[in-house]
Structure formats: C-alpha cells, structure tokens
C-alpha cells in the first residue's frame, strides 16, 4: 500500500510538471487566417463614412483611448486612439493597443491586410490570437475599408503599450482554449444603409456590439451562454472585482424587456442623452453621434426579436 502511494505521488508530480511545462511552451502559439482583400482608400466619401463609424457606432475610441482620456470620450470628444486602457479581468490584464499611425508603438508599420485580418479573423500581425473584445468579424468589406481608410489619416502618437498579461488562469486558457474568433456567417461585400430591420441587425451585431453586451456571456472565454439580446451579462466595473453592471433585456418581452414600451422617438432620444450611470460600460458618449436612421434601423430590428422572459434585476450589483 505504501508503495502504491509512493508511485501515485510520483505520477501526480510528473503529471503536474508536464502540465506546467505544456502551459509554458504553449504561451506563444500562433495561428493562421486568410488575408482579406482590403486596402485603404483616399476617397473622401469613404474616409468620411469611416470616420463616422470610428467615433460613433463602432465606438473604437471607447476602448482604444488612453486612461486619461476616458472622460473626454464619454463626453464625445474625438481624441487620438493612443491606447493604454486596461481591464482587470478574471484571466489577467487586457490592455488596448495604440492604433494611431505611429510606426513603433502604433499600427503605422502594419499592412492594410494585417489590420483587416486582425479585425475580421482575430489574428494579430504576429499570429497571436487576439482577445475577443471587438465585434467586427462579420463587418462588410465596404465598412472595413472605410474604417481602415480613416485610420490611415490619423497622425502618429507615440505611446508604448504592453500586450495582454494573462494570470495563471489566463495562461492555462491561453495554452489550451483561446483561439482566434472569425466570422460566423458569410461576410457581405457591402450592406444597404437604410432604416430597415435588416440593416439594424447588421449594426447591432457587427458594428455597435449591442449583441456582445446585451447577451449573457462567459467572462473567461467570451462564449455566449444566454439567448442573444436578452441581457443579463454581468460586467465587472473597471478597477473593481466585486462590483458589476448588468445589461438589460432588449427583446420585446412585455414584462422584462427594457424597451418594450418605448416608442422609436423615445429610443432615439435616450441615445442623445449620453451616459447617466457613471460606471456603465455602454459607450453612450460615442453613441450620441449615431444617425437617426441608424437608430431607427436598430429599434426596428430589436422589435423583430422573439420575446424572451429574462428579468435581469438591478443594473448595479455588488457580490
Ligand atoms: C470593446 C473594446 C474595443 C473596441 C470597441 C475596439 N477595440 Fe480594437 N482592440 C481591443 C483590444 C482589447 C485589443 C487587443 C487584444 C489583444 O491584444 O489580445 C484590440 C486590438 C486592436 C488592433 C490591433 C490588432 C493587432 O494586430 O494586434 C486594431 C488594429 C484595433 N483593435 C482596431 C480597432 C478599431 C479600428 C476599432 C473600431 C472600429 C476597434 N479596434 C474597437 C478592444 C477594442
Ligand atoms: C460595452 C457594453 C455595451 C454595449 C456595446 C451596449 N450596451 Fe446597452 N447597456 C450596457 C449597460 C452596462 C447598460 C446598463 C447601464 C446603463 O443604463 O447605462 C446598458 C443599458 C442599455 C439601455 C437602457 C438605458 C436606460 O436608460 O435604461 C438600452 C436601451 C441599451 N443599453 C441599448 C443598447 C443598444 C441598442 C446597443 C447597441 C447600439 C447597446 N445598448 C450597446 C452595456 C452595453
């Protein structure tokens, strides 16, 4: 019996050492993905559309600003996306990169295709799987081109930023679980921009990320674990580990849907008011510039959803 325990102990030890080694060796895993045929344009209409998406519906600044600029972004000021915002998540510290045209610390030295591949397929220029926070996997060729074209007009701003720093859980996930997230449907070349529910669906899923926040998700992997748009995602408030904002149910359920009894005008008016709850993650600042017709499209799309009964409770919780 003693011998058994001895061998069992040795076995466990060897297995543990093996696991630790495997985790360490697999930290720099690289991935491949196709390069989209996307190139920046100098056409002023294309750049103008890219600028609208960048500061407004696609809210790039809401993440790619520096920590000092957070209040300005909430107020809708167009600062440079010099990066540095951090999120302390259960998997480690996620830092947002500098995406100005600085060659050393920004994306000035990256090719158009590198940037387009990162946004569509979640693979960085060096093959690393990007932490999946951006909703642009199904974004049309036309819109990716517009965003890229606008990015190329930004002046450089030198600001060195570290990349994702996983903790022990993050390292294990990094070694075995994380992989690049790409499109989950056929990516359109272009989408007709009107106030239809169809365009609203596109905006809500592939540009403004209403789906990404208003659906319950696993904070460690980003996987969708609840019905889409039914809310209930508990998002830790920046800088805390026990305080959360909970997203509301956007489906037209008569009892638990947040906007079921809002008119289209009330919905649009709410977006013009900006952030009311200081700790809210919702990019209310950038969303102030949403065009009326785009908001109408989103409202109409949300009305077509299947009502789902999901009482998400108070918007702020402390555990
Ligand atoms: C919800 C937050 C969020 C939003 C919104 C967001 N980003 Fe990002 N972005 C990130 C994070 C986090 C990373 C880094 C992920 C990592 O390092 O694993 C990143 C990385 C990038 C990268 C670098 C990819 C690489 O190859 O290393 C580019 C380029 C980029 N984002 C552009 C944009 C643009 C353009 C927009 C708006 C159209 C945008 N991002 C909106 C969070 C965001
Ligand atoms: C980064 C996460 C995030 C994104 C993206 C996001 N939301 Fe929210 N949303 C929240 C949170 C958190 C709240 C609750 C706190 C608040 O009211 O600001 C909220 C609240 C709301 C409310 C209730 C506002 C009120 O005054 O009661 C509506 C309506 C809403 N979101 C709609 C949307 C729509 C439509 C989109 C896409 C255009 C969207 N959200 C994108 C996180 C998000």
> What does the alpha-carbon distance between residue 134 and residue 119 come to, in Å, rounded to a whole number?
7
pLDDT attached to residue 238: 82
Kind and range of the H or E run holding 267: helix 264-272
Locate 268 and state its tokens. 């649009």
> What does the alpha-carbon distance between residue 204 and residue 229 come to, in Å, rounded to a whole number?
10
Angle between helices 197-206 and 292-304 (to 10 degrees): 100
pLDDT attached to residue 229: 98
> What does the alpha-carbon distance between residue 88 and residue 298 come to, in Å, rounded to a whole number?
31
Q: Which atom of ligand 1 is nearest to the CA of 133?
A: 1
Residue 159 CA to ligand 2 center (angstroms) comes to 30
CB 95 within 8 A of CB 86: yes
Task: State if residue 303 touches ligand 2 by the CB under 6 angstroms criterion.
Answer: no
If one residue of 102, 133, 146 were mutated to test the ligand 1 pocket, choosing by the most ligand atoms within 8 A of its CB, it would be 133
* Ligand 1 neighbours by CB, cut-off 6 Å: 54, 58-60, 62-64, 94, 96-97, 99, 107, 115, 118, 124-125, 130-131, 133-134, 147, 151, 163-164
Longest dimension (CA), the chain: 80
Name the residue among 202, 181, 183, 187 with its Cα closest to residue 140: 187
Q: Which atom of ligand 1 is nearest to the CA of 62?
A: 5
Per-position pLDDT tens, the chain of length 319: 678 888 888 888 888 888 888 888 898 899 999 999 999 999 999 999 999 999 999 999 999 999 999 899 988 899 999 999 988 888 899 999 999 999 999 999 999 999 999 999 999 999 999 988 999 999 999 999 999 999 999 999 999 999 889 999 999 999 998 899 999 999 999 999 999 999 999 999 999 999 999 999 998 778 899 999 999 999 999 878 899 999 999 999 999 999 999 999 999 999 999 999 999 999 999 999 999 999 999 999 999 999 999 999 999 999 8
Residue 257 CA to ligand 1 center (angstroms) comes to 31
> What does the alpha-carbon distance between residue 97 and residue 102 come to, in Å, rounded to a whole number?
12
- Concatenated DSSP letters of 167-187: -HHHHHHHHHT------SSPP
For the chain, the domains span 28-176, 197-318
CB 262 within 8 A of CB 235: no
3-state secondary structure of 245: strand
Instruction: Indicate the pTM of the whole model.
Output: 0.95
3-state secondary structure of 141: helix
Write 217-225 long-range contacts (CB < 8 A, 24+).
219/89, 219/90, 220/90, 220/91, 220/169, 220/173, 221/173, 221/177, 221/178, 222/132, 222/133, 222/181
If one residue of 206, 249, 259, 282 were mutated to test the ligand 2 pocket, choosing by the most ligand atoms within 8 A of its CB, it would be 282
- pLDDT above 70 coverage of the chain, percent: 100
pLDDT attached to residue 1: 65
């Amino acid at each position: 019996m003693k011998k058994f325990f001895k061998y069992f102990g040795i076995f466990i030890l060897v297995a543990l050492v093996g696991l630790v080694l495997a985790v360490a060796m697999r930290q720099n895993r690289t991935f491949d993905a196709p390069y989209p045929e996307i190139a920046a344009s100098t056409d002023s209409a294309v750049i103008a559309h890219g600028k609208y998406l960048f500061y407004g519906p696609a809210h790039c600044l809401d993440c790619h600003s520096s920590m000092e600029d957070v209040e300005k972004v909430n107020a809708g000021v167009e600062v440079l996306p010099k990066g540095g915002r951090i999120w302390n998540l259960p998997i480690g510290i996620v830092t947002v990169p500098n995406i100005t045209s600085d060659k050393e610390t920004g994306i000035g030295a990256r090719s158009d295709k590198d940037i387009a591949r990162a946004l569509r397929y979640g693979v960085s220029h060096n093959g690393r799987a990007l932490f999946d926070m951006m909703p642009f996997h199904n974004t049309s060729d036309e819109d990716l081109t517009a965003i890229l074209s606008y990015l190329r007009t930004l002046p450089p701003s030198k600001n060195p930023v570290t990349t994702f720093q996983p903790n022990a859980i993050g390292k294990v996930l990094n070694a075995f679980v994380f992989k690049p997230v790409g499109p989950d449907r056929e990516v359109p070349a272009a989408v007709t921009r009107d106030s239809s529910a169809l365009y609203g669906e596109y905006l809500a899923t592939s540009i403004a990320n209403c789906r990404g926040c208003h659906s319950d998700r696993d904070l460690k992997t980003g996987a969708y674990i609840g019905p889409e748009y039914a809310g209930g995602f508990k998002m830790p408030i920046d800088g805390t580990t026990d305080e959360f904002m909970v997203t509301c149910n956007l489906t037209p359920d008569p009892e638990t849907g947040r906007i079921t009894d809002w008119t289209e005008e009330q919905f649009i008016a709410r977006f013009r008011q900006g952030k009311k709850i200081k700790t809210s993650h919702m990019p209310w600042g950038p969303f102030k510039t949403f065009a009326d017709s785009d908001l109408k499209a989103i409202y109409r799309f949300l009305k077509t959803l299947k009502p789902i009964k999901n009482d998400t409770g108070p918007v702020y919780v402390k555990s």
